[in-house]
Chains A and B, each alone.
Chain A
Amino acid sequence: MSEAATTAGGEGTKRSFDFGRLFRNGTLVTGVGILAVMMFVAIFADIIAPHDPFRANPIARYLPPLSPGYFLGTDELGRDILSRLMYGARLALLVAVVPTVIALVIGGAVGLFAGYAGGVWDSIVMRIFDVMFAFPGILLALGISAALGPGLSSMIIAMIVVTIPAFGRIVRGVVLGVKEELYVEAATALGYGHLRIALRHVLPNVLAPVLVYGTLQTGRNVILAASLSFLGLGPQPPTPDWGQMLGGGRMALATAAHVATIPGLAIALLAIGFNLLGDAARDLLDPRMKRDRD
């Protein structure tokens, strides 16, 4: 029983945690660093932004970067790009993290249920996931967003729906394996209820792969949200949103390239932050997944 408890909950294994090793992990430090800066900017945008992100200035349209008072220049309405980027960081983090977390919880619960219950329920859930996987990439999100009408909430709903199946499938896969383990059999023999076994013995095993995948998926959702915004399906003007800024700046690429290129750089940087953190988490939490597999 003691061995079973150790495997299931990780209790009883007192390992001294090597923080020095974490700091020497370049991937982790860079990823966390990028995300920390983004979060700092997002939280303190009110204080550190040099201008009002909404204030248009008709005589200062399309100023190039490093103009006096406008470090990253201005856009088509003469608004300060740096300030809009800073406020935009809030939305960028929100639309990357919130849909991922909600999809993780829903998809995880469905996957746990399907894998644990098995039989007909498992088949039904998996067939629904199969259908959702049949839609390539951004398309289903585009359809849902367009049908619900453009806007932040439609975009988030669309992103949640298309992210659920991946989490569901991962959790189900792990649960199918764990279900056969001796300690689950032992718990069943001891007469524990299904809910208790599922939550206390099966769930902890699912956490590592789900956290790793969740972090990488957050990076993908940064791009997905930016793509939907770029197509005009995200938050509507004048909300400072990176994808929308990029889409708006595209029209002036020949004369003021910075209006489109700078927000694109911010999107890429945020995605890199999550991808690095995900890669590091994969190496640390799940050595079996260390090799490129996604």
Chain B
Amino acid sequence: MLSFIARRALQTIPVIFGVTLATFLLSQIIPGDPTDILLGPGASEEARAQLRQALGLDRSALGQYLLYLQNLVHGDFGQSLTFSKPVSEVLASRMMNTALLAFAAIVLASVLGVAAGTFAALKPGSLRDRALTVVVLFLNSMPSFWLGLLLILAFGLQLRLLPVSGMTSGDGGFVNLLAHMLLPTLTLAAWSLAAIARMTRSSLLDVIGSDYVRTARSRGIGEWRIVFFHALPNAMPAVITVIGMQMGFLLSGAVMTETVFSWPGIGLAMYQAISTRDIPLIQGGILLLAVAFVLINFTIDILYAYFNPKIKLA
């Protein structure tokens, strides 16, 4: 197990370096003079030269990348133009909000997805099975921000049941936070829910057709018992893989969802950074989310190997 972890870690490190190189390259593809964006076109040549030196723009591309890495190691992600403070501060203050939303969404998507997939697989070809196929198609094809707006329209503006923006209001409190979380979580979870339901259904149908399930049936064991104690546990590895793959979608989906619901996370900060062309903040946000994604995948692989000894040798 330890050698597996070590091997997997060795594969992860170059990817993280690659990610830093890619986010660094983002600042290299900005057309024109980057100091234009930072200082505005009317700045004096002297101020530009000073800034160039301060940012290391007068160095070679390799020199700039090494400086970028050195700064990252010291927690320096640059200065945000939108918020007029260090990018690291902006990201740190919002990281937990994004993580909270993504975590709530993956829990909701997993629970509802597995339940819906199981429900459909119990009667393949039935009305409810076909209904699931249609719902999955819709959730798959629907832009999440549109779904968010529809939910705001229905539950916020028409029924006036739930708050539609921000994280808390009034005195706050746990219930208040939950109420604010419900619609963004549902919006973020929708796409993943569809993928998880689809995978649960197909992998459960595979297992239900196998010999040991037939044997269990012939011994007169009840259908529900067969599904929950015999079939579902064996269908789970495939489902867990899909759940792991969804984490990336959830982290990136946060940008859209947080924008629609004004949820104060990294995604909303990045959206605000777009209009001011605050590249350091966009770079920092992308880097943080990508590294988080890589580390989550790493953890999932380890857990997967731990629970599934067959793949340890792979």
Separation in Å of the B25 CB from the closest CB of chain A? 9
Q: With an 8 A cutoff between CB atoms, is A254 at the interface?
A: yes
Q: With an 8 A cutoff between CB atoms, is A93 at the interface?
A: no
A260 to B260, CA, bound (A): 12
Residue of B nearest to A225 (CB): B143
List residues of chain B with CB within 8 A of the CB of A271. 140-143
* B255 and A138 within 8 A (CB): yes
Given contacts A135-B286, A142-B270, A147-B29, contact A130 B275 (CB under 8 A): no
Separation in Å of the B290 CB from the closest CB of chain A? 5
Residue of A nearest to B34 (CB): A147
Partner-contacting stretch, out of B14-22, B169-177, B178-186, B225-233: B14-22
Tell me the chain A residues, 135-188 only, with Cβ under 8 Å from chain B. Answer: 135-140, 142-144, 146-150
A88 to B114, CA, bound (A): 38
Q: With an 8 A cutoff between CB atoms, is B251 at the interface?
A: yes
Q: With an 8 A cutoff between CB atoms, is A215 at the interface?
A: no
* A231 and B271 within 8 A (CB): yes
* B286 and A149 within 8 A (CB): no
Partner of A149, one of B19, B22, B31, B152: B31
* B282 and A142 within 8 A (CB): yes
List residues of chain A with CB within 8 A of the CB of B31. 148-149
* A231 and B274 within 8 A (CB): yes
Q: With an 8 A cutoff between CB atoms, is A131 at the interface?
A: yes
* B143 and A134 within 8 A (CB): no
A134 to B251, CA, bound (A): 12
Partner of A147, one of B30, B140, B146, B271: B30
Q: With an 8 A cutoff between CB atoms, is B213 at the interface?
A: no
* B15 and A137 within 8 A (CB): no
Number of interface residues of B (CB under 8 A): 56
Residue of A nearest to B17 (CB): A131
* A136 and B252 within 8 A (CB): yes
* B256 and A230 within 8 A (CB): yes
Q: With an 8 A cutoff between CB atoms, is A226 at the interface?
A: yes
Given contacts A148-B30, A261-B153, A272-B141, contact A137 B249 (CB under 8 A): yes
A146 to B270, CA, bound (A): 10
A291 to B202, CA, bound (A): 7
Q: With an 8 A cutoff between CB atoms, is B48 at the interface?
A: no
Of A139, A230, A246, chain B has the most CB atoms within 10 Å of the CB of A139
A261 to B147, CA, bound (A): 9
Separation in Å of the B64 CB from the closest CB of chain A? 15
Partner of A260, one of B149, B201, B202, B277: B149
* A131 and B274 within 8 A (CB): no
A143 to B201, CA, bound (A): 36
* B143 and A230 within 8 A (CB): yes
* A231 and B259 within 8 A (CB): yes
Number of interface residues of A (CB under 8 A): 46
* B137 and A275 within 8 A (CB): yes
Q: With an 8 A cutoff between CB atoms, is A202 at the interface?
A: no
Q: With an 8 A cutoff between CB atoms, is B145 at the interface?
A: yes
Q: With an 8 A cutoff between CB atoms, is A209 at the interface?
A: no
Instruction: Mark interface residues in B2-29 (1 if CB within 8 Å of A CB, else 0).
Output: 0000000000001110110111001101
A260 to B285, CA, bound (A): 28
List residues of chain A with CB within 8 A of the CB of B271. 231
Partner of B294, one of A134, A149, A265: A134
List residues of chain A with CB within 8 A of the CB of B16. 134
Separation in Å of the B271 CB from the closest CB of chain A? 6
Q: With an 8 A cutoff between CB atoms, is A18 at the interface?
A: no
Partner of B248, one of A131, A137, A275: A137
* B137 and A140 within 8 A (CB): no
Tell me the chain A residues, 240-256 only, with Cβ under 8 Å from chain B. Answer: 243, 246, 250, 253-254
Q: With an 8 A cutoff between CB atoms, is A257 at the interface?
A: yes
* B286 and A253 within 8 A (CB): no
Q: With an 8 A cutoff between CB atoms, is A289 at the interface?
A: no
List residues of chain A with CB within 8 A of the CB of B72. none
* B26 and A144 within 8 A (CB): yes
* A147 and B279 within 8 A (CB): yes
* B251 and A253 within 8 A (CB): no
List residues of chain A with CB within 8 A of the CB of B256. 138, 227, 230-231
A134 to B23, CA, bound (A): 12
Residue of A nearest to B19 (CB): A134
* B15 and A131 within 8 A (CB): yes
* B19 and A131 within 8 A (CB): yes
Q: With an 8 A cutoff between CB atoms, is B68 at the interface?
A: no
A122 to B75, CA, bound (A): 35
Given contacts A140-B22, A143-B282, A146-B274, contact A246 B137 (CB under 8 A): no
Beyond A137-B249, A227-B145, list 20 extra A-B contacts (CB 8 Å): A131-B15, A131-B21, A132-B22, A135-B252, A137-B252, A140-B286, A142-B282, A143-B286, A144-B26, A146-B26, A147-B29, A149-B31, A253-B152, A253-B153, A264-B149, A268-B141, A268-B142, A271-B140, A272-B138, A272-B141
Measuring CB to CB, which residues of chain B are less than 8 angstroms from any residue of chain A?
Answer: 14-16, 18-19, 21-23, 26-27, 29-31, 137-138, 140-146, 149-150, 152-153, 157, 198-199, 201-202, 247-249, 251-253, 255-256, 259-260, 270-271, 273-275, 277, 279, 282-283, 285-286, 289-290, 293-294
13 residue pairs bridging A and B, Cβ less than 8 Å apart: A134-B15, A136-B249, A136-B290, A139-B255, A143-B282, A148-B29, A149-B31, A223-B143, A231-B255, A246-B146, A257-B157, A271-B143, A272-B137
Shortest beta-carbon contacts, A-B, top 4: A131-B18, A264-B146, A137-B252, A136-B248
